[in-house]
Chain A
Amino acid sequence: MNTENTKAQMRKGILEFCILSLIQQREMYVSDLIESLKKGKLDVVEGTLYPLLTRLKNGEFLAYRWEESTSGPPRKYYQITEKGSLFLAELQTTWQELTDSVNQITKNSHSQN
């Protein structure tokens, strides 16, 4: 049994979920995202976010606009699309159901012990 693999399997999909949730609250730039993720103890490097954001954008879950920056090149600010909101809602439901059932099961197993 590969424990690393199991852990990785459990984490899958979480990053998309988090990013979509963060961006739904407000328009965000990559460094804002990183900061928020770090606050939430989800430590990822910026390089991980770019392909993911691009993929979400290509899937029309996100849109972006350029904003001039006072220091340096323009920044890409991401916002959620209607399709993204729907997807996020689905994810939230799924997450809720998942955590509920997992909590219940693990609690039961704890209490049984």
Chain B
Amino acid sequence: MIDEHAYIKLSDYLSALRNSLDAQEADEVMHDIEIRMVEIFKETLSKREVINDSDVEKVIAQIGTPEQIDEQEEAYYSEGKQNKSKFSTSYSSYSSNAQKQLFRDPERQKIAGVCAGLAAYFGMDITWMRLIWVGAFLFLWIAPGSSFLVVILYFILWAVLPKAESASDFLKMKGKPLNFDNLKEESSKIVQFANETTTRAGEIYNENRPKVNSAGDSLLKVLKYCLAVLLALTAAGCFIGLFAMMFAYGSDKFGMNDNLGFYLEENNLGYLLLGIAALPVVIIGIGALLLSIKLFSPKTKFNYVGPALGTLGIIWIILIGILAASASRLNFRYTGNNEDYENVSITAPNDTIYLDSKKIQIPENFKPYVNNIYSDKTKIFKRDYPSVEITRKDDIKTPYLIIKKEADGYNQPMKMKVPVDVVGNRIFLPNYYEIPYEYRFRDYRLDYELVVPSTMKVINEKEYEISTRGDDDDDNDNDGIDDNHRNHSGISVEENKIKINGTTIEYNSDDNDSVKINGKKYSKDSADVVLERMKIDQQVKKSFKDMNINIKDGKKEIHIKTN
């Protein structure tokens, strides 16, 4: 049994003693000393139960204070302790940052004691330090979200800086020399923090004693601080970059095509991708930050740095692994492709067929994804821009519509629903088709072919929505374009107008949302699909291996690319 005050005294004594020892020998020597102490206590106590102050003082007198031991070692030892400078402790009464150590100060903490610790380190008033943090937080509010960085920085420091717990920690934090008198003074202040004193492994005492700086050191010092500033800037850059990355991700500017976008969102792999991009930046940022702190203040020790950075690295590798595995699984899931043709005959009494579009109502519980995909995890609605190839045949009387469905996976059932309605002589083509959720990566394709008797007239009622191919009697411009085609056999570019092998693409700067293809208007979104269906790509490929056309008009631009 030991009374509380005696305990604090003893544990501070032990930690001071440990601090005064060489690190390599500390454990062994402390073990010897502790055993000896037990013996001394046993001798003095005999019948008493509780160790009191005077017992502890007696032990200290017998074994000696760190200062005494130090003096005697100086006096008698033939070989000095390693790196030990031969100056008495009184020398260290004035302190510089190099002797200080960054801690969190639990005594004066508001949140975690980071500000208090920094204030003690820089020797400034705690209020000013807090004002700097709050000021930085408020100031960065101008750039949306940058304040977040301040908070992140605070949390990193919180995690990384050790909490000052023992009397010796407090002395190091304040840059006071670690001698027994100071320890005693400090420990009387922190009775409530003293419990773990003995468990803290001692640092080499001489670390806290001043060293004489030789003149040659100063240049090295300048270089060191330059490097530290550079590292600090690197860290800041990393965190700003990180923020930009998150911002870019949040604003949906990660350009991706249909499948990838859907796939990423669907599996939360978007976050995975973000993680893969962001983690190295985090690691480098933290590394640079800590290195620069370490350079500014070599005595600072950090908690959990190795394990934390290691864990981040491992997480990064795992993320890459997950992404690679899931991507390759996706890639090899389907082989070949499956086709399914569905014929719908149109028993129209009239000699005209109208093409109309049908607006599919998507239930509210379907969640929208990028590129006009809706899903409720069992079914998927995918946007379609119907394109109809019109074929004229003399030997038929009843016109019919062929719905050509195509998807990856030769051995998989088609399971694609295209709700085409025929009312009289009017064909309603849906603007969305439906596929099962489990087949979401099969890359469904849809095309229509309308086979009509040669005399029948086909009128596209929704030119904006539906495109037609192969029927040349409903457009007068076609002849001209054919001429063009023959004459130039390639591409001509005029203002806001491109002609490619017989197809004209026009762009009107007054109307930003649509382009004209062969004189018909299409929405900007559907233009790609229309062009693709027109097989322009293939035609162009024959004449040009690589083409890239941009029409720019202020902010809007049209981009045509084949390769």
Which A residues have a C-beta under 8 Å from some C-beta of B? Answer: 7-8, 11-16, 30-31, 44-48, 50-55, 58, 69, 71-76
Contact = CB atoms under 8 A, between A and B. Distances in A.
B93 interface: no
Contacts of A16: 76-78
Q: Number of contact residues on B: which range applies?
A: 20 to 34
B32 to A, nearest CB: 5
A49 to B, nearest CB: 9
B21 A51 contact: yes
Contacts of B25: 51, 54-55, 58
B42 interface: yes
A11 B17 CA distance: 23
Given A45-B64, A45-B72, A75-B39, A50 B78 contact: no
Nearest to B70: A48
Given A73-B38, A76-B32, A14 B43 contact: no
A47 B69 contact: yes
Contact of B32 (A12, A44, A48, A50): A50
Interface string B62-95: 1111101100111111110000000000000000
10 contacts: A7-B75, A16-B78, A30-B32, A45-B72, A46-B33, A47-B65, A51-B29, A51-B69, A58-B25, A73-B39
Interface in B34-65: 35-36, 38-39, 42-43, 61-65
Contacts of B22: 51
Contacts of A30: 32, 36
- By secondary structure, the A interface counts as helix
A15 B39 contact: no
Nearest to A15: B76
Contacts of B79: 55
B63 A45 contact: yes
A60 to B, nearest CB: 15
B42 A48 contact: no
B28 interface: yes
B76 A44 contact: yes
Given A47-B68, A48-B73, A74-B35, 19 more contacts: A7-B75, A8-B74, A12-B75, A15-B77, A16-B77, A44-B76, A45-B64, A46-B62, A47-B64, A48-B64, A48-B68, A51-B25, A51-B29, A51-B69, A53-B32, A54-B28, A55-B79, A58-B25, A76-B35
